[in-house]
């Protein structure tokens, strides 16, 4: 599944005439395999051994390219650092208040929420975002041990 989605992202880049460099491929592969919604800094740290000449700016620039062609979404939350999500289907996020872990949560009624909001308010709804906060299982277990 991950390989198919990665290949789909690579095909999308080729269709938009974006050249596939080894760094771009590694960044994309990391995003699709990690599924942790990493920051640009985390991606850089994970790949710096493999690409010693790559800078954090290179990672940011490539993420911007991926975002512009629609294969990556930039997530901004309260901690001020952007996180990047390679799942571009509509979904929600559950976020741990302790460690910051983000997990995807798919709910079949996403379109219904927008339709209802438009109907009730008369707004022309363009997008929405819902975030659910709590403690992930490891953090909850850690809390109960103390």
Mean pLDDT, the chain, integer: 83
Q: Is the pLDDT of residue 99 over 90?
A: no
In this structure, what are the phi and psi dihedrals at residue 105, rounded to the nearest 5 degrees?
Answer: -135, 115
The per-residue pLDDT for 1 is: 46
| Exposed / middle / buried, residue 110 (Cβ in 10 Å: 0-12, 13-18, 19+) | middle
- Record the pTM: 0.65
The per-residue pLDDT for 19 is: 82
CATH number, domain 92-145, options 3.40.50.2000, 3.30.1490.190, 2.30.130.10, 3.30.565.10: 3.30.1490.190
Give the distance, in angstroms, between the CA of residue 3 and the centroid of all CA atoms in the same chain: 17
CA angle 7, 36, 3 (to 5 degrees): 20
Q: Where in the chain is the domain with CATH 3.30.1490.190?
A: 92-145
Q: Where in the chain is the domain with CATH 1.10.10.10?
A: 2-85
Q: What pLDDT, in 10s, does the model give residues 48-74?
A: 999 999 999 999 999 999 888 888 888
CA angle 125, 129, 133 (to 5 degrees): 155
Give the distance, in angstroms, between the CA of residue 62 and the centroid of all CA atoms in the same chain: 14
Q: What pLDDT, in 10s, does the model give residues 16-48?
A: 777 888 899 999 989 888 877 888 999 999 999
Which numeric CATH code is attached to 2-85? 1.10.10.10
Distances in whole angstroms, Cα of residue 105 to Cα of each of 13, 71, 128 = 27, 19, 15
Q: What pLDDT, in 10s, does the model give residues 5-19?
A: 777 777 777 777 778
Distances in whole angstroms, Cα of residue 51 to Cα of each of 38, 46, 59 = 18, 10, 11
């Amino acid at each position: 599944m991950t390989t198919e989605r990665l290949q789909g992202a690579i095909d999308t880049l080729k269709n938009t005439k974006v050249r596939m460099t080894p760094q771009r491929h590694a960044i994309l592969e990391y995003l699709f395999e990690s599924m942790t919604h990493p920051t640009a800094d985390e991606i850089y740290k994970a790949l710096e051994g493999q690409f010693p000449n790559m800078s954090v700016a290179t990672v940011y620039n490539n993420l911007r390219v991926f975002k512009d062609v629609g294969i990556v979404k930039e997530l901004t939350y309260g901690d001020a650092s952007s996180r990047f999500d390679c799942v571009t289907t509509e979904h929600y996020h559950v976020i741990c208040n302790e460690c910051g872990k983000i997990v995807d949560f798919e709910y079949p009624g996403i379109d219904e929420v927008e339709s209802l909001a438009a109907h009730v308010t008369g707004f022309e709804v363009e997008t929405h975002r819902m975030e659910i906060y709590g403690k992930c299982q490891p953090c909850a277990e850690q809390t109960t041990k103390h």
